[in-house]
Amino acid sequence: MTRKLVLPCLVLLLVAACSSGRNSESAPAQSAARPAPRQAEYETGRTALQKMYLAARLWAADVKLFRLQSQFTPDAPSGEGKAGLWRASLASPSRRAMKLFVWSGLTGTDAPEPGVSFSAEDSWNAANASTHIFDLGFLKVDSDKAYEVAQQHGGEKLTRKDPRQPVFFVLDWDNQKNQLVWHVIYGASSDESRLRIAVDATGGEFLRVEK
């Protein structure tokens, strides 16, 4: 009678062991199938602009840029001339209209939608000096090179004291000098800037310290 009880018990133990082995083998596979959290992306100005420009051409074939600006975020590698958020203001002469395009590589609950988004169409006046459009052929120097030049003309003193010194970039046309300019701004915003360096966006030369 004892032998008859032992055999069924052994069978049950073997079945349980096999089942447990199968479950432990499948557990890593299930965890590996979970998508990894999206990492923040950072780009230089020209790279981010290319992504927005492609989207803008779908809106208007004759679209041209008049302003490009980054937004500072604490984790952005500003020393590489990169940002996780860029805004491009573009106009269409044929439509007499303009739109704001945004590229975002940021993550988090308060971050803008990743990729390219854009605002509603607004009116544009060619006579307005603050929205002077320009040919992208003038943009030969990217934001990383502009940062290097700015560092050599006062920026390094600030970043040496504070390695987390906020920096952001603005690209626009200087109507008085008739040239395309990178403005490298040391500060979280224009109102809080400690130093502003102007760099020629075509040749890469230092232009001036701005007030």
Same domain assignment for residues 137 and 206:
yes
Number of domains composing the chain: 2
Shared domain for 73 and 169, answered yes or no, is yes
Residues 100 and 14 in one domain: no
Three-class secondary structure assignment of 90-121:
EEECCCCEEEEEEEECCCCCCCCCCEEEECCC
Mark whether 108 and 203 lie in a shared domain: yes
Residue-range definition of the domain harbouring residue 20: 1-34
Q: What DSSP string describes 154-196?
A: IIHHHHHH-TT--EEEEEEEETTTTEEEEEEEESSSGGG-SEE
107 and 67 within one domain: yes
The 10s digit of each residue's pLDDT in 77-110 is: 999 999 999 999 999 999 999 999 999 999 988 8
51 and 150 belong to one structural domain: yes
Task: Give pTM, 2 decimals.
Answer: 0.82
**pLDDT tens figures, 12-62:** 443 444 444 444 444 454 445 666 677 999 999 999 999 999 999 999 999
pLDDT band at 192 (very low <50, low <70, confident <90, very high): confident
16 with 102, same domain: the answer is: no
Let me know whether 68 and 132 are in one domain. Answer: yes
Residue 42: which of 99, 104, 88, 93 has the closest Cα? 104
Q: Are both 47 and 30 inside the same structural domain? A: no
**Do 28 and 53 share a structural domain?**
no
Judge if 122 and 204 occupy the same domain. Answer: yes
Angle at CA of residue 125, ends 124 and 127, nearest 5°: 155
Residues 12 and 59 in one domain: no
